Amino acid sequence: MKQQVKWALALLAAVGFQAAHGEQAADSKPAASDAWYEKLNIKGDLRYRFEDFQTQDKTSYERDRIRARVGFYPKINDDIDVGIRMTTGQSVSGAPGQGNPVSGNQNLTAEDSRKGLYLDSAYIDWHPGVLPGLDLLGGKMAKNPLIQVGTYMWDPDIAPEGLAAKYHLDVSDQFQILVNGTYQWLNEYTTINSEKMYAGQAALKFMPTKDSYVMVGGTYYDFANLQGEPLLDWQNVNNPYGNSTTKQISGTTTNLVYADAFKVAEGFAEVGFDVGLPVRVYTSYLKNSEATTDNAAYTAGVEVGKLGAPGTFLVGYDYRKVAKDSIPGMLEDDDAFSGSGTDGKGSKIWASYQILKNWELDFTLWLTKKNIATGETPVEFKHIMVDLMAKF
């Protein structure tokens, strides 16, 4: 399949070149500038998921879901890479051309209906040879350009939109300096201030042996133009995702807006070592200086093992507490507290097993509570996920 796609792209490139520059000799070869297609990388995965939800004082329910992703990654030249990926996903209410930003899953439902396909990422990665260690990214990025040691702040499926710079300096074989920055669009408006995020990050990584490392660092997030402005709600139903709100009345329309601004400082640490199996231990803490109460979040976790050859495995445990106004709720892991959102705490337990090459089994259990802020009534939540995933 890959070879067929490569030859098809090669044919298209040759036809375009001929149309632009006139007929070529029959025995001529493609110009060197067209050779990017020879380095085209195609990657993807297909996941089948069973889920069971149990919420206190509510009827439990279960569902089956699929996620299909395919990405094309051509190497344009020695300095430029491009990534374009498509994914399945649920459509945004009132905007069918847009998909859920925190999940590529599609429910198996609705009388065998066709499933939506969306542009998941489309970015340019410029890593100039004259500045080794630097990556400049622009577009809809495939993953968060900032270091994350857990998912308590960012859902792992979010594909940020905007610009980013990543730089690593190898001081020695055992010491590395990491500096990252990003400018992201959250919501664009033409009549009010657009909602954006600016972030800067620095970290130090020590590698005393080939099987061990220690990383410590910090991040500062400035979420611009959120206080008093519309909620970040991809469902368009005024969902605050756990955050505090106030009402904004315009004529006969009443909307919810953010009660607080978000300026968040985070510190994190991660340690890796080998005891016959690789072990990763991590922790992170953050605080929103613009909220006076319920303004902090933290996580701590451990993971043992690593997937690779058939028969390999990994297991992990993570605990998190995400206060009501610590971060914008829509960004948080949407599996943790019965949908994206803050105002929750609890545990995540997971295990993965490599059945065959490119074929794995994953199990995840969430045991959490939501509505944990002062004056609220906590609600217990259990979420089970079983995945079969094929990669190519």
pLDDT at 225: 95
pLDDT at 34: 59
* 10: its two tokens: 């090669």
pLDDT at 35: 65
Q: Which residues of the chain have pLDDT under 70?
A: 1-35, 94-96
Structural domains in the chain, CATH included, are 2-23+34-391 (2.40.160.10)
d(CA 269, CA 301): 11
pLDDT at 92: 78
Please tell me whether the overall predicted TM-score, pTM, comes out greater than 0.85 for this model: yes
Instruction: Tell me the three-class secondary structure of the chain, residue by residue.
Output: CHHHHHHHHHHHHHHHHHHHHCCCCCCCCCCHHHHHHHHCEEEEEEEEEEEEEEECCCCCEEEEEEEEEEEEECECCCCEEEEEEEEECCEECCEEEEECCCCCCEECCCCCCCCCEEEEEEEEEECCCCCCCEEEEEEECCCCCCCCCCCCCCCCCCCCEEEEEEEEEEEECCEEEEEEEEEEEEECCCCCCCEEEEEEEEEEEEEEECCEEEEEEEEEEEEECCECCECCCCCCCCCCCCCCEEEEEECCEEEEEECCCEEEEEEEEEEEEECCCEEEEEEEEEEECCCCCCCEEEEEEEEEECCCCCCCEEEEEEEEEECCCCCCHHHCCCCCCCCCCCCEEEEEEEEEEEEECCEEEEEEEEEEEECCCCCCCCEEEEEEEEEEEEEC
pLDDT at 94: 63
pLDDT at 158: 95
pLDDT at 237: 86
